[in-house]
Each structure stands twice: as structure tokens, then as C-alpha cells.
Homo-oligomer: A and B are copies of this chain.
Amino acid sequence: TRASSKVIKVEAPYGKPVDAEDVRRAGKGKKINIIGFAHGETSTGVVTGIDPYRKVADELGALLIVDTVASLAAVPLDVDRQRIDICFSGSQKAISAPPGMSPITVSPAAEEVFRKRKTKVQSWYFDLTTAMNYWGKDRLYHHTPPISLIFALREAMRLVAEEGLEARWERHRVNQLALIAGIEAMGLDLLVKNPADRLPTVTAVMIPSGIDDVKVRNQLLDEFNIEIAGGFGAVKGKIWRVGLMGYCSQKPFVLLFLAAVEKCLLDQGFRVPSGAGVGAAIRSYSQVETAAAVSR
């Protein structure tokens, strides 16, 4: 690696999370300093549970680093209770602030590791030990902050607080459920088979055989102003990745997307029961709303 550390990779098939048990087995009897993983894996739309990893990290005496770029403010997460040593994210996904910033939290245990370093961190900007001197009472100049982005992030966080984290998690869940209901009603499959493993912000849809991947994505963009992502690596040309994050996770977008996909598929000769996707999504919303009304 760039930082000359030794890394043991533990893998899982595309569409499934890496089992924390496999990580425990791989680390057993070795000196493991850090265990790291992505809470939300955007390349496949898989969500990975944090608690089993914390348990393994405790057993192995390792710090736990969690990438929450695609999950923060969209998927249940409790940095303190789940004792994440380093949790980092991006500003531009479910928080829906402009890109250019990476929120990060550091636990006292991780801070102690930084303070005990004997060699300097090679990157000035990534050196939290000097940034700490800015946060501390010295307030020593570290770098010129991107103030306009910071104000934008503050406003975005205000909107998150106004909606409420729990309400935001629920909104992402409900909109994805409707999207999935619509996708499946059109006869399409998902890459992630187990519903519990599905990342609420990114849904990976299997491209039906005979359908031109790029043509559909271009038509969605040109005709409907909707941009979705293709797959890369082993799933290139095999999946579409549909993002429902922050501002974009809303009912009108889900319904319009399903209608637009039906049009694109029909134009390529793929036969879908008329209005099936939109109809199924509407029924999914109605069921969730009725259930919520009953429980109230």
C-alpha cells in the first residue's frame, strides 16, 4: 500500500457483505492494528452491519474504521454507541451539501495512537496531530479552510436536524422499498438478494439480457434528465446503480424514474405489464403510510 502497511483482504461475492466471522478468522493470532470496512458499499449497493465488526475488533485489540460516505444521514448509525474509532463520510451524498468536505470523527483511543506516533505523518492535510493544535486552545494556523463550503455544510446539517435523523433514515427506507417494489414488478432482478443486505441509498438493478446498458442510461439522461450509474469492474454492463440519497430520496423522483425506465425498456422491445412499476411503488407507499397511521 501507499503507506507501507501490511493489509489482509477479506472478500465476499458481489452483492453480499463480508462476514465479520471471516475477518475474525483472518486476524486470529496476528497483531491487527486496524479493521476497516465500508458501511455502505456503493459499487454493489450492500450495507454491512457495524456491531459484529466492533466485536471482532475488540477481540483482536484493533481500532475500527468505518467508511460511511454513502450511509451517513440515510442509514441508522450511532458512532458513539457503536464505538467507531474513526468514522468518515462525505458532504455530498445523503447530507446533500456541496462536495469538497469529509466529516470525520476520532475516538479517544485513536487520538492516543496518533499522539504516540514517532514518525511524522507524510501528508500535511491528513495529519490530525497538527490539526489538533488548531482545535486546541493554541488555535495554531493549519490551513485555509474552505469557508463557503463550511457554511453550506452547516445549512445542510441544519436541514438534517430539522427533519430529524430517525425520520431521515425512515424516508430513505420507504423510498427504496417503493423503488424495489416497482423494479421487481417490472420483472427486473436486484443484485443484492437478501433484503437485509440492501443499502437504502444505492440500489443495484440487474440489466435484463438483450438490453443495451449505455443506451438506456443515455435515454434516461436526455429524455428525462435522470442520471444513474453503470457498474464497474466485474459487474460492468451487468448492473445499473440507482441512487436515492438525501434530497434525491423522494416520492416524485422514485415514481418518475420507474415510469422513465418502463419507457426506455419498451423502446428496446422489453415487454413490461403496462404501468406495473409505478403501480407497485404506489401500493408500497400506501401500505407503509397505512401501517404508520395504524401504529400512531
Contacts of A99 on B, CB cut-off 8 Å? 144-148
Residues on B with beta carbons closer than 8 Å to the beta carbon of A123: 2, 122-123, 125-126
Which residues of the other chain, B, contact A121 by a CB distance below 8 angstroms? 2
Bound CA span A270–B92, Å? 53
CA distance A146 to B90 in the complex (A): 11
> Residue among A99, A120, A121, A145 with the most chain B CB within 10 A?
A99
Q: List chain B residues, Cβ under 8 A from A120.
A: 2
Q: Mark A94-115, 1 if CB is under 8 A from B, else 0.
A: 0000111000000000000000
Q: Is A77 an interface residue (CB 8 A)?
A: no
Closest Cβ of chain B to A90, distance in Å, is 7
A149: interface (CB < 8 Å): yes
Interface pair B2/A144, CB less than 8 Å apart: no
B2 with A148: CB separation less than 8 A: no
Q: Taking the complex as formed, is A124 at the interface, i.e. its CB lies under 8 A from any CB of chain B?
A: yes
- The verdict on A292 contacting chain B, using a C-beta distance below 8 Å, is no
Q: How far is the CA of A93 from the CA of B238 in the complex (A)?
A: 47
- Whole-angstrom distance between the Cβ of A156 and the nearest chain B Cβ: 12
* Interface flag for A12 (CB, 8 Å): no
Measured between beta carbons, the chain B residues less than 8 angstroms from A126 are 123
Chain B residues in 8 Å Cβ range of A145: 99
Known: A92-B144, A149-B149. 11 other contacts (CB 8 A): A2-B124, A3-B122, A98-B147, A98-B149, A99-B144, A99-B148, A100-B146, A100-B148, A100-B149, A123-B125, A123-B126
